[in-house]
Amino acid sequence: MIKINKKFYYPSSTRKIIDGKRHYLVGDEKLPSVTSILKACESEEKKASLEAWKARVGEAEAERIKDNAASRGTLMHSILEGYMLDKPIVNLTPEGQQATKMAQIITDQGLKGRLDELWATECVLFYPEMYAGATDGVGIYEGKEAIIDFKQTNKPKRKEWIEDYYLQLAGYAIAHNQIYGTNIQFGIILMCSKDLLFQEFPVQGEEFRHYANEWWKKVAQYYKQKKEFQEVVDRAGM
């Protein structure tokens, strides 16, 4: 059983779509989500790659693959949260059985004997006036304060393909450090493919600081784009 230490108070929040982007309502603030910022700042190369994939498989198939992955990921996350809180979740649907197998692999290889202490799961973290997001776990992992994120994937990933995941970890850690006075400099992505292959992607030290700097660049880019868009709207009298 994982030791649970409710060391910090994490605020409740609601999600709302504003101008087509997910926001978190934290207190009186409406903050763009970490993933919304990353999506808004996608490179043209990444956008073109996604469009090329859709053209190759077809729009309908692309939507089916995306929806199945999202559903599988949601189920897997719920099962993992249940494990960490010692509140097992049983789902006997075909999708649930698949997600359970994936969650069990992450549990066996990524959590048991490695997650020393859990402070919170599925908690909202925010940086005042800047951004917010929900991380899958925060606590002590192999002796280090850590942000933990779970990912499902249709096929195994290479490190160079998942830069956005590292940026998410950095954004969550920065927010946690700002609000709670921690010094989290470590994050780990625990991933399982639908074919039950486990992967882990830790980030710390100089590499973590690199992604923290890159994250702030994304935040600056997002607000610059937002300001420029608003100026266009104002000039058009919309």
Which CATH number is 3-232's, of 3.90.320, 1.10.3470, 1.20.120, 3.30.160? 3.90.320
Please write the tens of the pLDDT for every residue from 35-69: 999 999 987 777 777 777 777 878 787 788 777 78
Q: How confident is the model at residue 238, as a pLDDT?
A: 47
* The model's pTM: 0.90
**Helix and strand totals (H; E) in the chain:** 6, 9
What pLDDT is stored for residue 111 in this prediction? 96
Residue 180 has pLDDT above 90, yes or no: yes
Q: How far is CA 119 from CA 165, 176, 182, in A?
A: 21, 12, 12
Domain ranges of the chain: 3-232
Q: CA 133 → CA 79, 125, 213, distances in Å? A: 20, 5, 18
